[in-house]
Structure 1
Amino acid sequence: MIHPVFYLIMIIMTFYSYMEVSSNYNIKPKIKIPYICMVIVLIFITGTRGNRGADYWPYVRFFVGANTFIRWNQIFDSGVEPTYIIFSKIIGNLHLPFFILLFTFATISISLRSSFYYKFSPYPFFTLLFYYMPTYFFQDSGHIRQGASIAICLFSFQYITQRKLLKFLLSILIAYYFHKTAIIFLPAYWIANIYISTFKAFLLIVLSILIAPLEPYNWFGEIFNSLSADTLSDAYNSYQKLGESTFSVGEIVKICFLVIIFSFDKYNIKTANNYNYLKIRNLCLTYYCIYYCFRQNEIFSIRLPIVYDAFAGTLFAIIIKNSKSQINKYFIYSFLIIYLYLLSFRFAANAKKLNFDKFDTLFTDGSAIVIIDETID
């Protein structure tokens, strides 16, 4: 199991998410202060963590190496995204400890994510909870570069809705310098703004499943090979295998999610008063299309399209908000909450391996206090 502190946070989020769903009016102003406080807590916990999460020690070594071996004129040739080197060198030159770097990335990522949730989700606490288990542990307390990159892509969604292409492209460029996989989000500007009927969307999912045996990721040559190598450098395999068969529990969950989306899609297209429903739905379905297309390759199917999956919590919040009846509303909400808690228990094997069964911070674990005594220009 994860440490009780993490469960306490989860329970508090669940309480506020229930308040959102059960309210008959816009409850956002009422929960704004608790929401901000929860975001601050998440930033603090992941920003001051000690020896917790995938790639913790590789990031420590990158931090030391950036200040020991890389000059300022070499930051674009170091093999690691420039933003990580820049932040590492600034913090190193100021002789600040390593946890400041973690805190910087946590602040960028979680603040941008939470801002997107509050602005575009009718139930921001529910969406924050959906992100918390387990994305918070895998990304913002693990693969921090990709976590920050995805957060910037979420931030760029406002430029998709406003049809501001140049600002969107600038956001993707910045996200790319945090993590190369952001390039997969480049078509999102056009994907989100295409009208795709329920039937055509369903056909796209079926087509994606059918072409998977052809291994379409090989069609893109060195572009995806480069991204794959970068993804592998993030120690993807640090996550413990769960001993599943080819048709795993995760596959069943994806089918359930697709059933929820398609069961209410026509109704939401016709009646939903949320202008962004189709845009967010298109982006979420893009995740499933890429996932099934690249199903033969774990790296491509899971890590590469995950930026599109980051919209799922917002989409489900919209679906719950616009449910046909109270029965549908509470059924979908209850199903998803139960799923998240079951997932938290299923996460136990990885939690123990990545030290989330403990609650180590810089105050209890000195590993976060790494200071560079000497730096190079």
Structure 2
Amino acid sequence: MSLLHPYYIIAMIYMLIFSVQEIFGNKVDKKWFWFLGVYLIIIAGLRDSVGPDYGSYKGIYIYSDTKEYWSIFLKALHIEGSENVDIEWLYALINKIMLNVFNAPFYMLTLVIAIFAIFFKIKYTEDNTFYPFTFTLFMFIPNFFIGESGQIRQNLGTFIIYFAIRYIKERKLWHYLFFVFIASGIHNVCYIFLPMYWVARIPLNKTMMLVSIIVSIFLSPFEVYKVFGNFLSNIASDSMLVEGFNGYVDETAQRLNGGFGIPEALMAILTFFLFAFDTPMKEKYPYYEYHRNYAVIGICFYFIFRNNPVFSSRLAGAFIGFSFVLIPNAMYVVSANKKRLIYSFIIALTIFNFVVFSSFRNIIAGRFTIDLYKNHILP
């Protein structure tokens, strides 16, 4: 077992203190949540050779500067020009401007990406839960390491989409489509969110949810996603980042062939919360149905893509990110005793994730340990 660098532990202790206050005390002023955001930007954005994908993204940074602005513009319009641009247009444009115009070192790019990602993350969290510190603490491991400190393109793209949920709520279609366009310019996995404007209002009941999940579990070993050919591969995979992605994965042949592991346990937990608190959430929590629909899709996607570690994490994971907000939100609709019980469960699961993440090779492969982590400004 390896120990996370104290910078990460400080962030967790900070979140825990304010989490207790927002659950059992008075409402916490938003400024403390934004202070956390600034701190996370520093430890993620100014990291030095930290994260399994760090070298891959550095290669993309140099690669982007070899492309012409006109070619990037054509890529944005989905027009094939004389010069092929192998990465998403907006991410390529940001890279090229940072290097071609400002001659910025690579860590300035990671800083800019972290600023945008954490801004959208904070806004999404403030919009969708009364317990921002609890939710952020709950999701910190492994999401912060896989997202802001790892797969920074997909992380930024998905949080742009998460932020845009506000326009689904307000029924502003063109606003939402604009943000889908922007997010897909960062990572093309965001195209799968295009139907969510309409999916959000599909009336689901417990029977429909149960049937959908059971059918997805039944389809899991048949790998039905292969009928889409290269379409899903082009969205979810990225050959330049596969090596880095594998640094996060500790899959076993037994689990991929039908065994039960941590991902399945998390799907079971999420499914329990969906069914146990569906009725009071519909009655008391605004726009709960939107998150419920996204959660069902995420669970179904996970089992359908289960035999492919990249698909089950990148495609399903994009929706699951929406889903886990339901667990802390359940505390808003229950009695005081149940609220304490749910909170105890959240803290226990957070501790469990901390121990598991520290025990796998992930923490060393990503250089997140006390002896390997380095930062460009922090000692």
**TM-score normalised according to structure 1 size:** 0.89
- Aligned with 2:289 (options 278, 284, 307): 278
Aligned-residue RMSD, C-alpha: 1.9
- 1:237, 1:56 → 2: CA distance? 13
The 10-residue stretch of structure 1 (93-102 or 32-41) with the greater mean CA deviation from structure 2: 93-102
Distance 1:240 1:211 in 2: 23
Look up the match of 2:9: 7
Alpha-carbon distance between aligned partners in 2 of 1:15 and 1:86, rounded to the nearest angstrom: 40
Residue 340 of structure 1 is matched in structure 2 by: 350
Matched, 1:185 2:193: yes
- Give a deviation string over 1:235-268, Cα, whole Å, max 9, x none: 4223252557311133123212211221111232
Residue 234 of structure 1: how far off its partner (Å): 4.7
Question: Using the alignment, how far apart are the partners of 1:289 and 1:232 within structure 2?
Answer: 28
Deviation of 1:314 after TM superposition, in Å, equals 2.2
Alpha-carbon shift at residue 207 of structure 1 (Å) = 1.4
Which of 253, 256, 263 is matched with 2:276 structurally? Answer: 263
Q: Over residues 203-225 of structure 1, what are the superposed CA-to-partner deviations in whole Å (9 max), with x where a residue is unaligned?
A: 21111111223322122233113
Indicate whether 1:91 and 2:102 are aligned. no
What is the aligned counterpart of 1:65 among 63, 66, 81? 63
SS of 1:278 mapped into structure 2: helix
Report the alpha carbon displacement of residue 79 of structure 1 after superposing the two structures with TM.
Answer: 0.4
Structure ranking higher on relative contact order (CA contacts 8 Å, 6+ apart): 1
Corresponding position of 2:254: 245
Percent identity for Structure 1 against Structure 2: 27
Native 8 Å contact 1:21 1:321 kept in 2: no
Amino acid at match of 1:363: I
Instruction: Confirm whether residue 17 of structure 1 aligns to residue 30 of structure 2.
Output: no
Distance in 2, Cα, partners of 1:115 & 1:51 = 28
Return the alpha-carbon distance in structure 1 between the equivalents of residues 234 and 16 of structure 2.
40
SS of residue in 2 equivalent to 1:140 = coil
Gaps of 5+ in 1: 366-377
Preserved contact between residue 56 and residue 240 of structure 2 (Cα < 8 Å) = no
One-letter code of the match for 1:300? F
Q: What is the DSSP-based 3-state SS (H/G/I as helix, E as strand, rest coil) of the residue aligned with 2:4?
A: coil
| Cα distance in structure 1, aligned partners of 2:151 and 2:118 | 13
Unaligned runs of 5+ in 2: 76-83
SS of residue paired to 1:49: coil
Q: Is the 8 A contact 1:231 1:303 kept in 2?
A: no
Q: Is the 8 A contact 1:153 1:172 kept in 2?
A: yes
Cross-structure match for 1:370: none
1:154 Cα deviation after fit = 0.4
Total equivalences in the alignment: 357
Aligned pairs for 1:15-54 (under 5 A) are: 15-23=17-25, 27=27, 30-54=28-52
Tell me the equivalent position of 1:359: 373
